[in-house]
Structure 1
Amino acid sequence: MKKILCTLLLLFLLITGCSTDHSDSNMVNNTELAKGVKQKTEMPLKMPTDFNFMVSFGYGEVTKNVIDTYTGTVTKDLITQGSATANIIFTTDELREIYDKMKTIDIMGPKKSSKEEGCFKTPSNEDKWKITVDGETKIFSWTDQNCRMTEDANQLLELRIYIQQMAQESEAYKSLPEAEGGYD
């Protein structure tokens, strides 16, 4: 009888010790750890054929400047004179450079675009983005109306300025009229 009881006790300990049931506390700890880690969204190594983007930018609600590869146009804010649009086509090399910069900052991944603070500045910049990569389209925006910008917002601003300078060097953009006036 002792032998049977010892065998049953040993089997009981063996079964409970080798359980594959994971406790909820381990899952909570893993989830909490994952919250602090920014997930990276893998973009294809090579620029996909459907890669396109549109960025509109300006001061506050006035986002008349637009660079749009979907339509092959660039629009310039002429301030008091409205806006003007020209056709622009980036070269494959230029698009590849832009794509590589977007890949570097994980543009298709999650972004924290603003810090909540009690400080606001006026006027403020606002950028609106639409990006298509490998069948996925992402739409988002950011503003610098708060006094401190996040690292993500700074990266997006640097990217937009890079693209803007590239567009401004084109003959199409140079042929557009000069802006008149200014924003307060």
Structure 2
Amino acid sequence: MPTDFNFSLIYGTYGKQKIDTFNDTIVKDLVEDGTIEVNLAFTEEEMEQVYHEMMTIDIMDDSKFTVREEEVCETEPPSYTIWNIQMDGKTNSFYTQTYCDGYPENVLELLKLEDYIHSILLNKDEYKALPDSNGYYE
């Protein structure tokens, strides 16, 4: 894993959730109660696991994760993901949204990665100690 490896991931309904390893912060969406931001760092081992998963899908390939606007659907409430990844002196940024006719394979890879990273977060004691979300989006 490169020494400069970091990422930020903004995701979920209205893009209100965030994992930012550049600043060791996370934002949890509490729905009706707003959001809460706290300092929370991933361990070296967790970062290595995420790095390995990213390399498995070749996440730094600039052309692989380009959104084709004609395939994107507007949904209410909107849900999207914004990625910003840094490694080996290079930065790659891209986003995904809801697709009209099913997700292309490359976007499915990103969704699986997002779920993987979120599952790491869900298992951290610091995250478990945060308030539960109140309500839901329709």
Does 2:58 align with 1:106? yes
Q: CA deviation at 1:119?
A: 6.4
Aligned partner of 1:87 in structure 2 is 39
Q: SS state of the match for residue 116, structure 1?
A: helix
Larger Rg: 1
C-alpha RMSD of matched pairs (Å): 1.8
For 1:69-80, list aligned pairs within 5 A: 69-80=21-32
Which stretches in structure 2 are left out of the alignment for 5+ residues? none
- TM-score normalized by structure 2? 0.89
User: 1:164 is aligned with what amino acid?
Assistant: H
Aligned residues: 136
- TM-score normalized by structure 1? 0.68
Which stretches in structure 1 are left out of the alignment for 5+ residues? 1-46
Q: SS state of the match for residue 176, structure 1?
A: coil
Q: CA deviation at 1:159?
A: 0.1
Aligned partner of 1:154 in structure 2 is 108
The match for 1:140 among 79, 82, 94 is 94
Offset from partner CA, 1:12-58 (integer Å, 9 cap, x none)? xxxxxxxxxxxxxxxxxxxxxxxxxxxxxxxxxxx110000000112
Q: SS state of the match for residue 95, structure 2?
A: strand
Q: SS state of the match for residue 183, structure 1?
A: coil
Distance 1:68 1:153 in 2: 21
Q: Percent identity?
A: 37
Distance 1:135 1:181 in 2: 42
Indicate the structure whose relative CO is greater, using CA pairs within 8 Å and at least 6 residues apart: 2
Q: Deviation above 3 Å: which 4+ runs of structure 1?
A: 112-124
